[in-house]
Amino acid sequence: MGNNTLNPKNFTIVVKIGTTFSPVGRKALLCGSGELGKEVAIELQRYGIEVVALDKYPNAPAMQIAHRSYVLSMLDGERLREIIETEKPDYIIPEIEAIATPTLVELEKEGYNVIPTANATWLTMNREGIRRLAAEELGLPTSPYRFAETREEFEAAIKAIGTPCVVKPVMSSSGHGQSVCHSEQEIDRSWQIAQEGGRAGAGRVIVEGFVKFDYEITLLTLRNSAGTITLKPIGHHQVDGDYRESWQPQPMSEVALAKAEEIARKVTGALGGYGIFGVELFICGDEVLFSEVSPRPHDTGMVTMISQDLSEFALHARAVLGLPVPSVRFYRPSASKAIVVEGDSDKVVFGNLEEVMAEEDVQIRIFGKGEVVGHRRLGVILASADTIEEALAKAERAYSKLQIEVLPR
């Protein structure tokens, strides 16, 4: 489907990109058009790639800058196939978990290029596939776990794992449906939260043993035509499973870092393909446990938009196109702070921006999401400094100056 050709002398990929909108141009189709997809679209367009954006609601962030867009549920395999067969993209780039992955598997067999691979998308779409790959096939250290389909199986799983334990739908994102079950009295509550918060509706859940870790990290791992690169570890703070702030680099021992890099290389190597992977790990002293992996840019990795010369989005685009990444230049300690807005509105105004941006080495990204119902991440503040602590404090100061007005519908 692409325009890559094989050089018979050295068996390397020769990358060619033709004029946009012409028969020799390249086209990428984004399955998911949120803030992460928007940044990927920007980076792809720097190379003259035609971008088609898909999401379940109109005017999603990436749709605002894409060449064309479609509104659909990406769990609708028939409609997804129809669009792909019409557009005939060179690259199909999943940016969310909830996609009709059996359709992508079929399309890949027919010659379409799914990033990083259809199998990687299939395995990581739900927590069961990736947990079984990591723990049972690769033998990576993880927390104890059980899966449950029914309320009875759920109760048995909690009894086997013990309390406290973490309960998650096998398919969800941004902490939706996640809870900590502290005792038998909270079983009903955790079951209900998981059933209501699953991306594809009620269904299967994972019960994980509560890990007393010192901290958790995202180790962004890039598979590209020049090899595999792991970036500096990213520490982060979450509220109910949803990222609120992140920083890079997270201090850790050389032993723990080496173990983390080994785990990241093993799991991404098993998934295959080119692109950025967000590998989530629990760290306790020098011990490292695998948690999850996303075969796409990670929300905690937004800090890379200020911390290094090539952001995770730039790296993803470059790898997707088959271009090598010989190295990544890290600038200095940096932090990101999510702008989370609460309310029910389709009109949100961000004010006092001149004060937010008054301090040096501070940036802001406003995602352009159309509405907020309950709470929603609508932007991010980025900051860099000489130390992590200073970067976090700078981001907090900028955030405290931001005025957010949620207007009635």
Active-site residues, by number, are: 173, 175, 280, 292, 299-300, 377
3-state SS record for the chain: CCCCEECCCCCCEECCCCCCCCCCCCEEEEECCCHHHHHHHHHHHCCCCEEEEEECCCCCHHHHCCCEEEECCCCCHHHHHHHHHHHCCCEEEECCCCCCHHHHHHHHHCCCCECCCHHHHHHHHCHHHHHHHHHHHCCCCECCEEEECCHHHHHHHHHHHCCCEEEEECCCCCCCCCEEECCHHHHHHHHHHHHHHCCCCCCCEEEEECCCCCEEEEEEEEEECCEEEECCCEEEEEECCEEEEEEECCCCCHHHHHHHHHHHHHHHHHHCCCEEEEEEEEEECCEEEEEEEECCCCHHHHHHHHHECCCHHHHHHHHHCCCCCCCCCECCCEEEEEEEEEEEECEEEEECHHHHCCCCCEEEEECCCCCEEEEEEEEEEEEECCCHHHHHHHHHHHHHHCEEEEECC
